Chains A and B, each alone.
Chain A
Amino acid sequence: MIDSILTARNVVAGYVPGMPIVHNVSVDVAPGEIVTIIGPNGAGKSTLLKAIAGLVLFEGGEVRCGGQDVSGHPAHELVRSGIGFAPQTGNVFTTLSIHENLVVGGHTLGRTLLRERLAAVYARFPLLAARKYAPGRVLSGGQRQMLAIARALMTDPRVLMLDEPTAGLAPRVVGEVFADLRRLAASGVAVLMVEQNARAALRVSDRGYVLTDGRNHMSGSAAQLLADPGIGEAFLGGRRLAS
C-alpha cells in the first residue's frame, strides 16, 4: 500500500453548528491514485470535500496532507498546503477572462513562478491558450471544467479535489475530462473526486468510497465496487437507494 498523501479521519462537518451532515467519514488518497466517492444525493459527498477545503463548518476529525495537519483550516490556506479544489457550481469566474482566471488561481505565487506556471498550464491545455482573453461566461460546460482544473493546477497541488467534474457534460466531453484526470494522476497528483456519474468515474479510478447518510458505507478497489451487485443496483444503474 503506497502511503497516502491525503488522509481524512472521522470527519464531522455540516452547515449548521451541531447539525452535521458528515458523520465520522474517513478517506485516503495516495499520489498518482484516482479515488472516487459515490453515493445517493444528500449523502454528504460534496460536504465532505467542502469541509476538507475549508468552506463549511468543520466540527471534528482530522485531515492531513503530506503529514501536515490541515483540519478545519480556512479555505485560503489550503492552497499553500498543496490542496487544490474545483467546486461543482461556480467553478470558474465568469466575469474574468481565461487568462485572469488562471492568474487568480496563481494568486499565491510570486511573479516569476506565476509566469512559469502559466506557461506550463497553457502548454498542457492548448485549447485554453488559444482563447486566453475570452471571458469565462462564454465557455461551454466542458471548457469551464477544463479551465477549473487548469486553474487548480496553477499552484501545482499534490492533491486535487473535484466536486462532480462531469455534471451536465455530454458523454464525449466526460471522456475528455476523465482522460485529463488520468494524465494528471499519472504525473503524480492524487485525485479525489465526487461523482454522480458513478460507473464512468469508477472505470477510470483506482479506488472508491461509497457514502450513505453521511457515513462510510463501503470502500474498495474500483473493480470490486463495479462488480459488487448491491452497489451496482443502487448506485451505478441510476437507481437511488430508498432511505
Chain B
Amino acid sequence: MMGIVAYLVFFAIVVLIFGVATLGLNLQWGTTGLFNAGVVGFYGVGGYTQAILTAPGRPELLGNLGLPWLVGIAGAMAASAIAAAIVGVATVRLRGDYLAIATFGIAVALQLVALNWERLTGGSLGLTSIPRPLASVFEEPLSYDLFYLCLMLAIAGTVYVALERIVRSPWGRVLKAVREDETAAVALGKDARRFRLQAFVLGSTVIGLAGALYVSFIGFVSPFDFVPIITFQIWTMLIVGGSGNNKGALLGVLIVWGLWTASGTLISKLVPAAFQTQGGAVQAILIGLVLVVTLLFKPRGLIGEEPVVSRHLG
C-alpha cells in the first residue's frame, strides 16, 4: 500500500515538473507561435545551473558553489534566459523554421558541453549530492516526497496563474495577434519582433525552472537525463492537451506521461532483456505515431485556432 502511495506521489511530482515545462512551451508555441525544437536544451541548462550553483564544492570542479537553493533556482532561470536570448536574437527576424533549427542546434551543443566540459559539469558522470530543499527537515523519503509534492503544487500553481494572467494581459493579446496574422506582425514591425523575443525568453526561463526543480528533486544530474526524446515528450504533452490552452497542457502531461511510464513498464516486463533497446524503439515509434496522427487528424490539437488559409497560397 505504502509502495503504491509512494509511487503515485513520485509520479505526481514528475507530472508537475513536466507541467511547468509544458506551460513554458505553451507560452512560446500556443500563445506566440514560436517553434522551440530544443526544449531539452533549456531544461538541461536550468538543471545543470541549479546543480553547479548549489552542489557542495569539489576540488576538481570549477562550479559546485554550495549556494542556497533559491539562488540556484534564480541562477537556473537566468541561465535559460540567456541561452534563449542568444538563439532568439539571431532568429526572431527570420522564418519560423530557422528558430526550430537554431533551438535544435543549441540543445545539441549544450549536451556536448555537458558531456565534455568535465571541470564544470562532471562530464559523463555528471554531478551528485545536489542538495534538496529542506532535506534536513523531512528526513523520511515518503514525507520528503510529500513535501516536495506540495512545493511543486505551489510552484506549478503560481506559474499557471502567472502565465494565465500574462496571456490575458495587453502584452499577451499582442502576442496572439502577432501569431495569427503575419500582416499585423509586419505592420508592427520591429515591435512584433520584440514581443516574440520576450515571449521566447520568458517561455525558456520557465522551462529552465522546470529543469532546476527536476534536478533539485532527484539530487543528481548527468547528460543522459537530457536526451532529445524529452523535447519530444514535452511537445506531445502540449499537443495532446490542445495547445494555446494552459489547462489542456497540464492534462496532456498527465496523459502522455502516464502512457509513457505504463508502456515503459509493460515493455520491461514483457520483452526479454536482450531486446530492451528494441522495446525502447517501439515506445519511440508509438510516440512518433501519436504525434503524426494527431497532426493529421486533429490539427487543432496542435495549433488551436489555426489560420484557415495557407500563407503560401499562390
Partner of B308, one of A16, A50, A55: A16
Q: Which chain A positions have C-beta within 8 A of B314?
A: 50, 55-56
Q: Are B313 and A56 in contact (CB under 8 A)?
A: yes
Q: Which chain B positions have C-beta within 8 A of A56?
A: 313-314
Task: Return the chain B residue nearest A50 by Cβ.
Answer: B314
Kindly state whether residue A125 has any CB partner on chain B within 8 Å: no
- Interface residues in B290-314 by Cβ distance below 8 A to A read 308-309, 313-314
Interface string of A54-68 (1 = CB under 8 A from B): 011000000000000
Task: Return the chain B residue nearest A55 by Cβ.
Answer: B314
Bound CA–CA A50/B313 (angstroms): 11
Kindly state whether residue A17 has any CB partner on chain B within 8 Å: yes
Bound CA–CA A55/B314 (angstroms): 6
Kindly state whether residue A122 has any CB partner on chain B within 8 Å: no
Partner of B309, one of A16, A50, A55: A16
Bound CA–CA A17/B309 (angstroms): 8
Q: Are A17 and B308 in contact (CB under 8 A)?
A: yes
Kindly state whether residue A93 has any CB partner on chain B within 8 Å: no
Q: Which chain A positions have C-beta within 8 A of B308?
A: 16-17
Shortest Cβ distance from B108 into chain A, in angstroms?
A: 33
Kindly state whether residue A178 has any CB partner on chain B within 8 Å: no
Shortest Cβ distance from A126 into chain B, in angstroms?
A: 33
Task: Return the chain B residue nearest A90 by Cβ.
Answer: B314
Q: Which chain A positions have C-beta within 8 A of B313?
A: 15, 55-56
Q: Which chain B positions have C-beta within 8 A of A50?
A: 314
Bound CA–CA A55/B308 (angstroms): 16
Bound CA–CA A15/B313 (angstroms): 8
Q: Which chain B positions have C-beta within 8 A of A55?
A: 313-314
Shortest Cβ distance from B181 into chain A, in angstroms?
A: 12
- Interface residues in B110-142 by Cβ distance below 8 A to A read none
Shortest Cβ distance from A200 into chain B, in angstroms?
A: 27
Bound CA–CA A15/B308 (angstroms): 10
Footprint of B on A, CB under 8 Å?
A: 15-17, 50, 55-56
9 pairs of residues in contact across A and B, judged by CB atoms under 8 Å: A15-B309, A15-B313, A16-B308, A16-B309, A17-B308, A17-B309, A50-B314, A56-B313, A56-B314
The 3 A-B pairs with the shortest beta carbon distances in the complex, nearest first, are A55-B314, A16-B309, A16-B308
Known: A16-B309, A55-B314. 9 other contacts (CB 8 A): A15-B309, A15-B313, A16-B308, A17-B308, A17-B309, A50-B314, A55-B313, A56-B313, A56-B314
